[in-house]
Structure 1
Amino acid sequence: MRKLLFCITLSLASWAFAGTQQCDDAFAKSDFVTAYKECLPLAREGDSYAQSIIGYLYDYGQGGLPQDYAQAASWYQLAVQKGEILALNNLGELYQYGLGVQQSDQRAFELYLRSSSLGNRKGQYLAGYFYEQGRATAQNFSKAMELYRKSADQGYSQAQNALGYMYEMGRGVKADVQQALSWYRKAADQGYSLGQYNTGYLYRYLLTPTNDQEAFKWFQKAAQQGHAESQNELGFMYQYGYGTRQNYPEAMRWYQQAIEQGSSAASNNLGVMYRDGTGVDQNPQEAFRLFQKSADLGNTYGAYNLAYLYYSGTGVNQDYPKAFQYFSQSAAKNYADAQNYLGIMYQYGYGVKVDAAQAASWYQKAADQKNMYGAYNLASLYVNGNGVPRNDSKAAQLYQQASNAGYRAADTELGILYLNGQGVPKDEQKAVQYFQRAAEAGDAQAQNNLGYMYDGGRGGLPQDYSKAVYWYQKAADQNYLLGISNLGVMYENGTGVAEDPKKAFELYMKAAQQNYSWAQNRVGIMYYKGKGVTKDVAKAEEWLRKAIAQGSTDAQSTLELLLGDLNAPPVDTTANNPTNNTSNNTTNTTDTTATNPVNTNQIQIEILDPKPGAVITDNWIFLKVRTSKPMGNLEFRITVNGKPIGTNSRAIGVAASSEYELAIPLDADSKALNIEVSAFDGKTLMGQGKLAVSHGKAGKNQVTPQGNLYVLAVGIDEYKYVSKDRFLKYSVKDASDIVHELKKQQGVVYNNVYDFMLLNSQATWENIQAAMIRVQKLAKPEDTVIAFFSGHGEQMDGRYYVITYDTDPQYLRRTGLMQDELTEFYAGLQSNTIVILDTCRAGGINGVRAISNPKVDGLVRALETTSNAAPTPPNVKKVIFAATGGESYAYEDPSWGNGAFTKAFLEALRGEKSVQNNQGMISILRLGAYLGDRVQELTGGKQVPNIQLSSSDWVIADPE
């Protein structure tokens, strides 16, 4: 970057000559050896222009001189004392980049301002850049615009390009794409490659209508000058035929040139060509190499594509942990498809422990970006109550979102909800509309369901067996088991098609061989009766037992007939077809064939773990329970020593599961534990199981202190520029109380505890910045940092700000502690880190720390993303606790004497049992769970924390 700026200075600057003609001419002709010979005597005599030239020769190692930034700075400094413009700019750049002098943005800015005041166009541009970025001065877009315009009016191409960017982004001026284009074109017409690229970008992506031909022209001009991003864009346009004729060899040539300059996007794009065999022989191994290169350079899409190769085992051995690693890298940069795949991996335990709550979290992130797959997958969790509370209404909304985005599988699920009246009003005609749309798009489940609607003449459709057969056949052709089975029924009964028991048997067998219990039962019956196949009692028993093993009560009844009287004509115990049960026909998770109502008054409940008489040393039991048959809607109610215990159950496997995990909190004082598990289907008691164990707390391990704890605690009740009616009451006390409790850990969990506490007027922007820098420098990988902020916060332009004591809300961007500064602090920490944000938007009336939606989520996401992206030492863990989420406020109350979130945190530090592991130490994961529940309990559900527990567990304190 800096060399480019100097080249422009030499070619465009207009200097005041002050020496002999020989010195001037030699330098102007780039005859640097002669320039050094002719200019050095003049420089020694005090000629400022000659001094600038000698400084330049040292700066760039020209004229036979070694490159020596310190010598360059010395000569520039002599010239600067006499106001030489060339020296002002060049010395400023040495300070800006710390070359030969101690780096100083402030000194660089002062030199640029002097150059600017003398009317130098480059100095105006550089000073404007510092105002735009807020470097060494408060960010001031208006001032930046003023200086850019002065420079641009003098024809300085970089300033013209910068003005275009200001108009494009709406910085200091109303966003105006046409004005942006005008300024970009001025820079582009001077041959400035970045201006050419930006011109092409506007034509390609932002103008209405777009113009690919113009975009291609400008990308080509910049690419021919070696601009890597333009080379990548040019390759993309050749690859897909945008603005030019499709030309794969040219696409590959330009991608390769961009790759040689380190373009991560081009590595990804060329990798896609090799992966898909587009314009080149398909080569998964070469695609893998290119995606790896792209991912290593931090490219979001390269990381995603690499992850998918590991996930699918394409071009590389299947490796779920590697897939998880690279999906995480891409998801951290907010790529929705990667977030969706992380959800899949957590849901099904691919490369990571099954965690339905984490799956829901990642699906939600993807759905929030309108990703149809994320919305669909999240909806399925809500339907089954997996990782989230069951909520059919929420599921319907999400399926509708996916449907609106064009995902036809979501239409199928919406049809099921409307058919059954789940989360939406029951409406069979709407169900038919959704089934029809998905069926015509090729969705097998929808094809089966539409066949079912024709079969029964439902949803406003006439009963039409031939159309039912047509759609069952479509589903069967895609190997959809219900479609195969329903088609078999039509052939067996001669409904809508000629009766053909042999064909029916073949279809049933096809489904039975894929472990579909209804079809296994039917195959057993066909063998038993000799229908469509030679009678064979042994094979009938074999298939019936296979169905029974999967919980089929119909098969059990048939087998009892078979074993009871082999000579008697067997009774057909199946339904006419598997479509007679509406709910079972619209999912593939339950048996759809029962004609006689199953006796569901009792099922057997077996407690697999822990075993009777076991000694439980933790504060929780995770019961593993098995039911004697799979059911989809069981609710478990638990009592411990006769006391009802609230719990959540998690099915292991599909929704209609037979195994569950039940998490049960225990009273630490109870010794003998008599546990009773009751399973309900609605209000009907289905079965019970009992277990007797004992509870004995494990001995507390002696902790060896290690590492230091650094506590940065900021608490502000009173503000310099915020009106008194918005003052808070307990933020200072929050910070003080937290520090007081944490200091007790010195010599216990930590060697030393150092606090940096800033209260009220101490908590200025400058003091907080200084404290963050100091903590960053002090904390080592073996240490722990807790950064606590209690007070007001605000949001503007999608960024979150902590309101410091001296923040003026009218000048928030300039005076607030902005999100970027917090994320930079967070990312730079090389130690275990806990960030606690008990802030929200400015308010404080009636105990509410916000008058409007706090939207702290943006900051939490920024912190989490920065942490995921920034390199940290191995085993370093980072956690974020935010007092509120985007849809709730933060509260304080006299009865608590603190904010709700801080009160819950203090309770944990002061001995709350549920946050302690079996050694009695405070576990970060248990703490997170407690804070989430306790804050909602304190506030009656009004305050919902945002807690990011993305790290593994670790001990943070000893409450005793």
Structure 2
Amino acid sequence: MRKLLLSITLSLAGWAFAGTQQCDDAFAKPDYVTAYKECLPLARQGDGIAQAIIGYLYDFGQGGVPQDYTQAATWYQLAVQQNVPLALNNMGELYQYGLGVAQSDQKAFELYLKSSAQGNRKGQYLAGYFYEQGRATPQNYTRALELYRKSADQGYAQAQNAMGYMYEFGYGVKSDYTQALSWYRKAADQEYEVGQYNVGYVYRYLMDPPNDQEAFKWFQKSALLGHADAQNELAYMYQYGYGTRQDFQQAIRWYGLAIEQENSAAYNNLGIMYRDGQGVKQDYQEAMRLFQKSADLNSSYGAYNLAYLYYNGLGVKQDYQKALQFFTQSANRNYADAQNYLGIMYQYGYGVKQDPQQALNWYQKAAEQNNKYALYNLAYMYSAGLGTRQDQSKAAQLYERASAAGYPDADAELGYLYLNGQGVTKDEKKAAQLFQKAADAGVVIGQNNLGYMYELGLGGLPRDYAKAVFWYQKAADQNYTLGLSNLGLMYENGSGVPEDPKKAFELYMKAAQQDDSWAQNRVGIMYYKGKGVAKDAKKAEEWLRKAIAQGNTDAQSTLDLLLGDLNAPTPSNTNTNNTSNSTTTVTTNTPVNTNQIKIDILDPKPGATVSENWIFLKVRTSKPMGNMQFRILVNGKEIGTASRAIGIAASSEYELPIPVDTTSSNLNIEVSAYDGQTLMGQSKLSLTNSKGNKNQFTPQGNLYILAVGIDEYKYVSKDRFLKYSVKDATDIVAEMKKQQGIVYNNVYDFSLHNNQATWENIQAAMIRVQKLAKPEDTVIAFFSGHGEQMDGRYYVITYDTDPQYLRRTGLMQDELTEFYAGLQSNTIVILDTCRAGGINGVRAISNPKVDGLVRALETTSNAVPTPPNVKKVIFAATGGESYAYEDPAWGNGAFTKAFLEALRGEKSVQNNAGLISILRLGAYLGDRVQELTGGKQVPNIQLSSSDWVIANPQ
């Protein structure tokens, strides 16, 4: 960002006009009102420096004149003709940021070079920055360093700081933290707050060992000058006593100052203090508010901590849906702990449909960052064969990594693999060592297994019942079922302890109540024999049946032996046929379908009138069913539909989308629920259908189209140029413009093609569309071209994106989600992109990963409030592991080809009024793209739950 300079010293050499001293003195004080009065006459007479000063006053709105970039540019341009450095630099910045003039990096760079050639230190710094970034010129770290050094040697603090940055990251020079610190220090000594912060950062995070005392000193200097990140770091050091005495009140004070500048990390860290009651009374509600603010500012930590509160029900009702939303937001910013939690939620179906493959995917992302919990969980997935083929060797490798990362639970699991020779060479001694390590760390499985090794004398350990009892007791103290059962057996047999059947029974019962079938069998036997408890055949049968229900064959044998064959039917009433010697047994306890359920239709109400193309039927079942399937009849015709569980209890309330494909005025709906082939319940509903006549539609609001199509790229090799992306964009716009005066009042085109589609131009267009679109309007954001993914984030490759420096030059997923969330209108996002490439009609080299962006857009849409009745949908050309294709036979990308077919009259996307329905369109695109590509391209379609009209085919 451009900042108002505090003081400027100008050379008077060459001034030929009277009054120049007064003009110069007033500007240097600074007394901008007097400067304007004294300099304006000189500027009108052609004095270059006076012209630059007047331009400056208009540029920053000083001296009693309004901020006016156009006026500033006019005066700067006059001074530029006389090569005045102040004008060269500031005019360059106007071009760089597109203020008062058309944005042009090239013109900005040329002006910075002219200033630099005159030895102006700011011009040298700015030209160096363009070389470093590769803006308007090929990236050249050597040239950037040369210019930065020239500027830094003249004492320009920002250039000195830039030199430190180059040495810290090794850009154009070998990375050298000592040199980086030296340059940062030069900038810091000039009271440059960014330099001071960087000095503190080096001492705190880059020095080995850290020097917290020095870090504290420099963070404090920077913080006092108002640097928000430094204020946050200073607060953190007070909070934990790094480099200073621990002082919670000072921590709260500095976090508060950083929060005034909307610092996301400070919101999060202060939230932790309230969550944990550090220096303040524990207050989950305040913690939640602060975490929410941090998450709103795109902090992965804030989103994670907010999700954690919802996941565990801390200060709020447990809500897995909310937890999923914020864990996803954090995970999409590549935070490993959040990715691990998403894996847990998908593995066990917390707030989402159980999906082992999704769980595996998220664990893998976190494991790539060496997250010890994710490594452990991923190992379990391979060991159990969940979401992937079973691979004990892979599991062992992952447990090894988790152990090396400091997770002792992995030692217990790895010990088990060594004990049994699964995925590794069997080694009982190694197993015993690992169990000991885990047990010493308090891991319950390690304690139990070490007891087992002592009980049997395995792994080079002596058979020692006393030590076995010691470790079984440790495990039992943590209520571990195997520990309870094993300890119970020691007491029952008198191994290592005096024989005590009563104690054994108590331990077995604790394990049995946790559904351990072995313990349930022992409880049943002891009840029958009256061992350690009063004899009770009824309770014996009860516990033996519980064990049998879990497949315990020993319990079945015991029950058969002790109580007789219980599978034979028990006659309650016998009738003898007098005309025959045969006997017919009639049993009065005939089995009843105890799973019968009641279905209540909550919405719409009976007799209601509907006019939409879809009805969203909400039903409630009287009790949860795990494999619920619905069959729907409308006027006797079966309708294929997919149910969606809603509400906190995904077990009892469902939403059933039903297409209304009939012109009949009466709708008789019958809902039947099945568990497999078994009918569980039915309900009926009659409605009135009042849909209007075909093709009658009143225009609704305006349509704004941001259509980006890029075939040719500045930094992508020509063999990877595309052929039809620009055509995709122009064809879509042309079709939608036909809707002006029909579906929309006006259609506004914000197209950007090839070299127009720079990062800054796309950003500017997104901001403008955001500001223009009202709730009654519609926005179509269409992107056709190359995409890429790095570190879990999706990027659109703009015309000026350099794939080697994707983070700096690509249009980030975060920027797209910010645009999407900020739209207050009906929105359709169309992504006909995937990863960089374009050879042989494939818009990708490696597997596309558009799903991360789709998830981010969907999560952001759910997290940011929008006006009532505003709907948003996402159409991604690819999803999962498929590619995006283009072909001369289509003259477009496959996805755009299908979209155009819909707009040009494809009947299946039209409702009964002949209008294009968004839900029908989504269904058509999903099928048609796969048909065009022979199943090779699979779109990712994210629809709202409401239908709406987007076009009337002409």
Whether TM-score is above 0.5 comes out as yes
SS at match of 1:489: helix
Describe the shift of the 1:283–1:410 C-alpha distance in structure 2 as closer, same or farther (beyond 3 A).
same
Q: Distance in 1 between matches of 2:278 and 2:349?
A: 34
Residue aligning to 1:69: 67
Confirm or deny: 8 A CA contact 2:726 2:784 kept in the other structure.
no
Structure 1 gap ranges (5+):
567-604, 612-629, 631-676, 679-687, 694-698
Q: Distance in 2 between matches of 1:729 and 1:54?
A: 49
Q: Distance in 1 between matches of 2:705 and 2:58?
A: 48
Residue aligning to 1:305: 305
Tell me the alpha carbon deviations over residues 148-198 of structure 1, each in whole angstroms, 9 at most, x when there is no partner. 333222211112212322333344555444443332222112221111111
SS at match of 1:119: coil
Residue aligning to 1:206: 206
Residue aligning to 1:659: none
SS at match of 2:158: helix
Map residues 492-641 of structure 1 onto 2, 5 A cutoff. Answer: 492-544=492-544, 547=547, 554-555=554-555, 557-559=557-559, 563-564=563-564
Describe the shift of the 1:912–1:449 C-alpha distance in structure 2 as closer, same or farther (beyond 3 A).
farther
Q: Does 1:820 align with 2:807?
A: no
Residue aligning to 1:187: 187
Between stretches 249-258 and 488-497, larger displacement belongs to 249-258
Tell me the alpha carbon deviations over residues 836-869 of structure 1, each in whole angstroms, 9 at most, x when there is no partner. 5576565848x9888x756767996998699779
Residue aligning to 1:155: 155
Residue aligning to 1:124: 124
Residue aligning to 2:426: 427
Confirm or deny: 8 A CA contact 2:708 2:757 kept in the other structure.
no
Q: Distance in 2 between matches of 1:459 and 1:303?
A: 46
Describe the shift of the 1:904–1:479 C-alpha distance in structure 2 as closer, same or farther (beyond 3 A).
farther
Q: CA deviation at 1:230?
A: 1.4
Confirm or deny: 8 A CA contact 1:508 1:520 kept in the other structure.
yes
SS at match of 1:498: coil
Q: Distance in 2 between matches of 1:533 and 1:27?
A: 99
Describe the shift of the 1:110–1:341 C-alpha distance in structure 2 as closer, same or farther (beyond 3 A).
same
Q: Distance in 2 between matches of 1:413 and 1:166?
A: 45
Q: Distance in 2 between matches of 1:328 and 1:727?
A: 34
Residue aligning to 1:227: 227
Q: Give the aligned residue type for 2:118.
A: L
Q: Give the aligned residue type for 1:412.
A: A
Residue aligning to 2:485: 485
Describe the shift of the 1:229–1:736 C-alpha distance in structure 2 as closer, same or farther (beyond 3 A).
closer
Structure 1 vs Structure 2: percent identity of aligned residues?
A: 61
Q: Distance in 2 between matches of 1:414 and 1:716?
A: 52
Confirm or deny: 8 A CA contact 1:61 1:68 kept in the other structure.
yes
Structure 2 length as normaliser, TM-score? 0.69
Q: Distance in 2 between matches of 1:382 and 1:527?
A: 41
Q: CA deviation at 1:485?
A: 1.2
Between stretches 302-311 and 69-78, larger displacement belongs to 69-78
Q: Give the aligned residue type for 2:444.
A: A
Map residues 819-898 of structure 1 onto 2, 5 A cutoff. Answer: 819-820=810-811, 828=819, 830=823, 832-833=827-828, 835=830, 844=839, 873=866, 876-877=871-872, 879=874, 881=876
Q: Give the aligned residue type for 1:509.
A: M
SS at match of 2:305: helix
Describe the shift of the 1:746–1:34 C-alpha distance in structure 2 as closer, same or farther (beyond 3 A).
closer
Residue aligning to 1:236: 236
Q: Distance in 2 between matches of 1:723 and 1:833?
A: 31
Confirm or deny: 8 A CA contact 2:329 2:856 kept in the other structure.
no
Q: Does 1:294 align with 2:294?
A: yes
Tell me the alpha carbon deviations over residues 574-607 of structure 1, each in whole angstroms, 9 at most, x when there is no partner. xxxxxxxxxxxxxxxxxxxxxxxxxxxxxxx999
Q: How many residues align?
A: 855
Residue aligning to 1:403: 403
SS at match of 2:811: helix
Q: Does 1:329 align with 2:329?
A: yes
Q: Distance in 2 between matches of 1:609 and 1:448?
A: 44
SS at match of 2:363: helix
Describe the shift of the 1:239–1:808 C-alpha distance in structure 2 as closer, same or farther (beyond 3 A).
closer
SS at match of 1:6: coil
Q: Give the aligned residue type for 1:410.
A: A
Confirm or deny: 8 A CA contact 1:303 1:327 kept in the other structure.
yes
Describe the shift of the 1:186–1:315 C-alpha distance in structure 2 as closer, same or farther (beyond 3 A).
same
Describe the shift of the 1:721–1:289 C-alpha distance in structure 2 as closer, same or farther (beyond 3 A).
closer
Between stretches 779-788 and 310-319, larger displacement belongs to 779-788
Tell me the alpha carbon deviations over residues 598-655 of structure 1, each in whole angstroms, 9 at most, x when there is no partner. xxxxxxx9999999xxxxxxxxxxxxxxxxxx9xxxxxxxxxxxxxxxxxxxxxxxxx
Q: CA deviation at 1:717?
A: 9.9
Q: Does 1:164 align with 2:161?
A: no
Confirm or deny: 8 A CA contact 2:830 2:875 kept in the other structure.
yes
Describe the shift of the 1:32–1:169 C-alpha distance in structure 2 as closer, same or farther (beyond 3 A).
same
Q: CA deviation at 1:320?
A: 3.7
Q: Distance in 1 between matches of 2:480 and 2:490?
A: 16
Q: Distance in 2 between matches of 1:896 and 1:105?
A: 36
Confirm or deny: 8 A CA contact 1:713 1:755 kept in the other structure.
no
Q: Distance in 2 between matches of 1:557 and 1:825?
A: 65
Q: Does 1:258 align with 2:249?
A: no
Q: Give the aligned residue type for 1:392.
A: D
Between stretches 267-276 and 466-475, larger displacement belongs to 267-276
Describe the shift of the 1:127–1:205 C-alpha distance in structure 2 as closer, same or farther (beyond 3 A).
same
Map residues 943-954 of structure 1 onto 2, 5 A cutoff. Answer: none
Confirm or deny: 8 A CA contact 1:332 1:868 kept in the other structure.
no
Q: Distance in 2 between matches of 1:397 and 1:707?
A: 59
Describe the shift of the 1:319–1:796 C-alpha distance in structure 2 as closer, same or farther (beyond 3 A).
closer
Confirm or deny: 8 A CA contact 2:187 2:196 kept in the other structure.
yes
Between stretches 854-863 and 170-179, larger displacement belongs to 854-863
Residue aligning to 1:376: 376
Q: Distance in 2 between matches of 1:750 and 1:455?
A: 80
Confirm or deny: 8 A CA contact 2:342 2:362 kept in the other structure.
yes
Q: CA deviation at 1:55?
A: 5.5
SS at match of 1:450: helix
Q: CA deviation at 1:371?
A: 1.9
Confirm or deny: 8 A CA contact 1:148 1:163 kept in the other structure.
yes
Tell me the alpha carbon deviations over residues 308-345 of structure 1, each in whole angstroms, 9 at most, x when there is no partner. 22332334444444433333332232211122223333
Confirm or deny: 8 A CA contact 2:484 2:511 kept in the other structure.
yes
Q: Give the aligned residue type for 1:439.
A: A
Q: Distance in 2 between matches of 1:725 and 1:44?
A: 54
Q: Distance in 2 between matches of 1:78 and 1:728?
A: 43
Q: Distance in 2 between matches of 1:737 and 1:929?
A: 20
Q: Distance in 1 between matches of 2:842 and 2:58?
A: 63
SS at match of 2:496: coil
Residue aligning to 2:644: none
Q: CA deviation at 1:248?
A: 4.0
Q: Distance in 2 between matches of 1:318 and 1:271?
A: 19
Q: Give the aligned residue type for 1:66.
A: G
Q: Distance in 1 between matches of 2:98 and 2:758?
A: 26
Tell me the alpha carbon deviations over residues 650-701 of structure 1, each in whole angstroms, 9 at most, x when there is no partner. xxxxxxxxxxxxxxxxxxxxxxxxxxx99xxxxxxxxx9999x9xxxxx9x9
Describe the shift of the 1:279–1:336 C-alpha distance in structure 2 as closer, same or farther (beyond 3 A).
same
Q: Give the aligned residue type for 2:5.
A: F
Residue aligning to 1:392: 391
Tell me the alpha carbon deviations over residues 889-936 of structure 1, each in whole angstroms, 9 at most, x when there is no partner. 8899999999999999999999999xx9xx999779978997999999
SS at match of 1:69: coil
Q: Distance in 1 between matches of 2:946 and 2:401?
A: 36
Confirm or deny: 8 A CA contact 2:922 2:943 kept in the other structure.
no
Q: CA deviation at 1:560?
A: 5.1
Describe the shift of the 1:146–1:930 C-alpha distance in structure 2 as closer, same or farther (beyond 3 A).
farther
Between stretches 400-409 and 275-284, larger displacement belongs to 275-284
Q: Distance in 2 between matches of 1:766 and 1:128?
A: 25
Confirm or deny: 8 A CA contact 1:444 1:478 kept in the other structure.
yes
Q: Distance in 2 between matches of 1:478 and 1:20?
A: 86
Map residues 649-668 of structure 1 onto 2, 5 A cutoff. Answer: none
Q: Distance in 1 between matches of 2:507 and 2:29?
A: 89
